[in-house]
Amino acid sequence: MLKRLPGYGLGWSLNRRVIVIAVGLTCLLALAAAAAIFAGRSSRSHAAQPVPAPAHSSTSPTRQPSSVSGPVAGPPRISDPVEFAKAAAKMLWSYDTRTTSQAQQLAGMEAWMTKESEYGDFTSVAAQIPDPVLWSRMADQKQHATATITEGHYPAAFKQALSEDPAAITKAYIYAVTVTGKQTITWAGGGGGAEDRSITLAVQCRPSADCSLVAIAPRVAP
Protein backbone atom coordinates (compact mmCIF):
# COMPACT_ATOMS: atom_id res chain seq x y z
CA MET A 1 0.00 0.00 0.00
CA LEU A 2 1.37 3.36 -1.00
CA LYS A 3 2.67 5.46 1.83
CA ARG A 4 2.21 9.14 1.17
CA LEU A 5 4.21 11.92 2.74
CA PRO A 6 3.08 12.54 6.32
CA GLY A 7 1.54 15.94 6.97
CA TYR A 8 4.09 18.55 7.88
CA GLY A 9 3.93 20.20 11.30
CA LEU A 10 3.69 17.17 13.57
CA GLY A 11 6.76 17.43 15.78
CA TRP A 12 9.35 19.79 17.30
CA SER A 13 11.59 20.55 20.28
CA LEU A 14 12.11 24.29 20.54
CA ASN A 15 15.32 25.88 21.83
CA ARG A 16 15.00 26.91 25.48
CA ARG A 17 16.19 30.40 24.66
CA VAL A 18 13.18 30.89 22.42
CA ILE A 19 11.01 29.80 25.32
CA VAL A 20 12.51 32.46 27.57
CA ILE A 21 12.59 35.30 25.05
CA ALA A 22 9.39 34.74 23.08
CA VAL A 23 7.04 35.19 26.03
CA GLY A 24 4.03 35.45 23.79
CA LEU A 25 4.77 32.10 22.17
CA THR A 26 5.37 30.51 25.53
CA CYS A 27 1.98 31.57 26.79
CA LEU A 28 0.25 30.59 23.59
CA LEU A 29 1.65 27.13 23.41
CA ALA A 30 1.16 26.36 27.08
CA LEU A 31 -2.59 26.20 26.48
CA ALA A 32 -4.28 22.83 26.30
CA ALA A 33 -4.45 22.99 22.50
CA ALA A 34 -0.67 23.38 22.23
CA ALA A 35 0.80 22.58 25.61
CA ALA A 36 3.55 20.31 24.37
CA ILE A 37 5.16 22.90 22.13
CA PHE A 38 6.98 24.76 24.85
CA ALA A 39 7.31 21.99 27.44
CA GLY A 40 4.47 23.00 29.72
CA ARG A 41 5.39 26.57 30.58
CA SER A 42 2.86 28.79 32.34
CA SER A 43 -0.40 29.58 30.52
CA ARG A 44 -2.58 32.65 30.13
CA SER A 45 -6.26 33.04 29.30
CA HIS A 46 -7.86 33.63 25.87
CA ALA A 47 -8.41 37.21 24.65
CA ALA A 48 -9.47 38.78 21.37
CA GLN A 49 -7.38 41.94 21.54
CA PRO A 50 -5.49 42.45 18.25
CA VAL A 51 -1.76 41.73 18.21
CA PRO A 52 0.54 44.70 17.67
CA ALA A 53 1.90 44.44 14.14
CA PRO A 54 5.64 44.80 13.57
CA ALA A 55 6.50 48.44 13.03
CA HIS A 56 7.82 47.69 9.59
CA SER A 57 5.07 45.41 8.32
CA SER A 58 2.47 48.06 7.58
CA THR A 59 4.75 50.02 5.30
CA SER A 60 7.21 47.51 3.89
CA PRO A 61 6.07 46.24 0.49
CA THR A 62 5.97 42.56 -0.33
CA ARG A 63 8.88 41.85 -2.63
CA GLN A 64 9.44 39.18 -5.21
CA PRO A 65 10.55 35.72 -4.02
CA SER A 66 14.26 35.08 -3.76
CA SER A 67 16.04 32.58 -5.98
CA VAL A 68 15.17 28.93 -5.77
CA SER A 69 17.18 26.81 -3.32
CA GLY A 70 17.60 23.79 -5.57
CA PRO A 71 14.29 22.09 -6.39
CA VAL A 72 12.57 23.78 -3.42
CA ALA A 73 11.43 27.38 -3.84
CA GLY A 74 13.45 29.81 -1.77
CA PRO A 75 11.86 31.99 0.90
CA PRO A 76 10.02 35.11 -0.29
CA ARG A 77 11.37 38.45 0.84
CA ILE A 78 8.43 39.37 3.04
CA SER A 79 8.44 41.45 6.22
CA ASP A 80 4.92 40.56 7.40
CA PRO A 81 4.72 37.56 9.80
CA VAL A 82 1.34 36.26 8.61
CA GLU A 83 2.19 36.47 4.91
CA PHE A 84 5.55 34.81 5.46
CA ALA A 85 3.96 32.03 7.53
CA LYS A 86 1.46 31.40 4.74
CA ALA A 87 4.30 31.09 2.23
CA ALA A 88 6.21 28.78 4.59
CA ALA A 89 3.19 26.53 5.07
CA LYS A 90 2.76 26.24 1.32
CA MET A 91 6.40 25.25 1.01
CA LEU A 92 6.08 22.65 3.77
CA TRP A 93 3.00 21.08 2.22
CA SER A 94 4.49 20.94 -1.30
CA TYR A 95 7.01 18.43 -2.61
CA ASP A 96 7.89 16.42 -5.71
CA THR A 97 9.73 13.15 -5.24
CA ARG A 98 10.03 12.82 -9.02
CA THR A 99 12.59 15.62 -9.19
CA THR A 100 13.76 16.17 -5.62
CA SER A 101 15.79 13.94 -3.35
CA GLN A 102 15.23 13.85 0.38
CA ALA A 103 18.54 15.66 0.91
CA GLN A 104 17.56 18.36 -1.57
CA GLN A 105 14.22 18.82 0.16
CA LEU A 106 15.98 19.29 3.50
CA ALA A 107 18.44 21.79 2.01
CA GLY A 108 15.61 23.78 0.49
CA MET A 109 13.71 23.87 3.78
CA GLU A 110 16.83 24.95 5.68
CA ALA A 111 17.12 28.02 3.45
CA TRP A 112 13.93 29.34 5.07
CA MET A 113 15.39 29.21 8.59
CA THR A 114 16.53 32.12 10.73
CA LYS A 115 20.27 32.67 10.65
CA GLU A 116 20.20 33.38 14.40
CA SER A 117 21.21 29.95 15.63
CA GLU A 118 20.20 30.63 19.22
CA TYR A 119 16.55 30.76 18.11
CA GLY A 120 16.24 28.47 15.12
CA ASP A 121 15.03 24.90 15.60
CA PHE A 122 15.63 23.14 12.30
CA THR A 123 15.07 19.79 13.98
CA SER A 124 11.38 20.57 14.22
CA VAL A 125 11.31 21.38 10.50
CA ALA A 126 13.46 18.47 9.30
CA ALA A 127 11.31 16.05 11.30
CA GLN A 128 8.40 16.83 9.02
CA ILE A 129 9.67 14.82 6.05
CA PRO A 130 10.19 11.04 5.78
CA ASP A 131 13.55 9.38 6.09
CA PRO A 132 15.51 8.65 2.89
CA VAL A 133 14.17 5.10 2.60
CA LEU A 134 10.51 6.12 2.70
CA TRP A 135 11.20 9.08 0.43
CA SER A 136 12.74 6.67 -2.09
CA ARG A 137 9.63 4.47 -1.98
CA MET A 138 7.49 7.53 -2.57
CA ALA A 139 9.71 8.44 -5.52
CA ASP A 140 9.12 4.98 -6.96
CA GLN A 141 5.43 5.89 -7.01
CA LYS A 142 6.17 9.36 -8.45
CA GLN A 143 4.41 10.96 -5.53
CA HIS A 144 4.11 14.75 -5.44
CA ALA A 145 1.97 17.33 -3.69
CA THR A 146 0.82 20.90 -4.11
CA ALA A 147 -0.81 23.23 -1.60
CA THR A 148 -3.26 26.08 -1.54
CA ILE A 149 -3.49 28.44 1.44
CA THR A 150 -6.83 29.55 2.85
CA GLU A 151 -5.81 31.96 5.60
CA GLY A 152 -3.32 32.82 8.34
CA HIS A 153 -3.79 34.50 11.71
CA TYR A 154 -2.19 35.17 15.08
CA PRO A 155 -3.53 32.64 17.63
CA ALA A 156 -5.72 34.14 20.34
CA ALA A 157 -3.38 33.35 23.24
CA PHE A 158 -0.44 34.89 21.42
CA LYS A 159 -2.42 38.11 21.07
CA GLN A 160 -3.28 37.91 24.76
CA ALA A 161 0.36 37.48 25.72
CA LEU A 162 1.38 40.51 23.70
CA SER A 163 -1.42 42.61 25.13
CA GLU A 164 -0.08 41.84 28.61
CA ASP A 165 3.57 42.48 27.74
CA PRO A 166 3.93 44.30 24.38
CA ALA A 167 7.65 44.84 24.87
CA ALA A 168 8.38 41.11 25.02
CA ILE A 169 8.20 40.75 21.24
CA THR A 170 11.02 43.25 20.74
CA LYS A 171 13.62 40.92 22.25
CA ALA A 172 13.56 38.37 19.44
CA TYR A 173 10.67 39.45 17.18
CA ILE A 174 9.30 35.91 17.08
CA TYR A 175 5.62 35.58 16.17
CA ALA A 176 3.22 32.65 16.34
CA VAL A 177 1.04 32.25 13.26
CA THR A 178 -1.57 29.58 12.49
CA VAL A 179 -2.15 28.80 8.81
CA THR A 180 -4.87 26.70 7.18
CA GLY A 181 -5.07 25.35 3.66
CA LYS A 182 -5.39 22.22 1.54
CA GLN A 183 -2.80 19.72 0.35
CA THR A 184 -3.37 17.81 -2.89
CA ILE A 185 -1.33 14.62 -3.36
CA THR A 186 -0.86 12.70 -6.61
CA TRP A 187 0.98 9.47 -7.41
CA ALA A 188 1.52 7.05 -10.29
CA GLY A 189 -1.39 5.31 -11.91
CA GLY A 190 -3.81 8.18 -11.49
CA GLY A 191 -3.92 7.94 -7.71
CA GLY A 192 -4.43 11.00 -5.59
CA GLY A 193 -6.38 12.81 -2.94
CA ALA A 194 -6.68 16.04 -1.01
CA GLU A 195 -7.10 17.00 2.61
CA ASP A 196 -7.36 20.11 4.74
CA ARG A 197 -4.25 21.18 6.63
CA SER A 198 -3.55 23.44 9.59
CA ILE A 199 -0.24 24.32 11.18
CA THR A 200 1.17 26.73 13.76
CA LEU A 201 4.59 28.16 13.00
CA ALA A 202 7.03 30.43 14.79
CA VAL A 203 8.50 33.05 12.47
CA GLN A 204 11.03 35.78 13.11
CA CYS A 205 10.47 39.21 11.55
CA ARG A 206 12.89 41.82 12.79
CA PRO A 207 12.31 45.47 11.78
CA SER A 208 13.70 46.36 8.35
CA ALA A 209 14.50 42.70 7.64
CA ASP A 210 12.88 39.82 5.80
CA CYS A 211 11.07 37.20 7.84
CA SER A 212 12.48 33.72 8.45
CA LEU A 213 11.24 30.45 9.89
CA VAL A 214 12.05 29.56 13.50
CA ALA A 215 10.15 26.33 14.23
CA ILE A 216 7.00 24.30 13.64
CA ALA A 217 4.54 23.24 16.31
CA PRO A 218 3.20 19.69 16.76
CA ARG A 219 -0.29 20.99 17.54
CA VAL A 220 -2.38 23.70 15.98
CA ALA A 221 -3.13 26.70 18.19
CA PRO A 222 -6.50 28.36 17.46
How far is residue 181's CA from residue 35's CA, in Å, rounded to a whole number? 23
Q: Which amino acid is at 21?
A: I
Contact 59, 212 (CB under 8 A): no
Judge contact between 170 and 53, C-beta under 8 A: no
Taking a C-beta distance cutoff of 8 angstroms, is the pair 152, 83 a contact? yes
**Among candidates 160, 222, 220, 182, which has minimal Cα distance to 10?**
220
pLDDT score, position 204:
97
Question: What is the Cα–Cα distance from 170 to 206, expressed in whole angstroms?
Answer: 8
Question: If you ran DSSP here, which 8-state letter would residue 209 be given?
Answer: S
Stated as kind and residue range, the H or E segment containing 157 is: helix 156-164
Q: What is the DSSP string of 72-110?
A: BPPPB----HHHHHHHHHHHHT-EETTT--HHHHHHHHH
* Amino acid 71: pLDDT: 80
Judge whether 222 and 156 are in contact, CB under 8 Å.
yes
Q: What is the sign of the dihedral through the CA atoms of 201, 207, 208 and 209?
A: negative
pLDDT tens-place values along the chain, 222 residues long: 334 444 433 333 344 334 333 434 444 443 333 333 333 332 332 222 233 333 333 333 333 333 334 589 899 999 999 999 999 999 999 999 999 999 999 999 999 999 999 999 999 999 889 999 999 999 999 999 999 999 999 999 899 999 999 999 999 999 999 999 999 999 998 899 999 999 999 999 999 999 999 999 889 999
| pLDDT for position 70 | 55
pLDDT, residue 217, reads 87
What's 65's DSSP letter?
A: B
pTM for this model (two decimals): 0.72
Greatest distance between any 2 Cα atoms in the chain: 55
116: closest CA among 41, 22, 39? 22
Which stretches of 10-70 are assigned E, i.e. beta strand? Answer: none
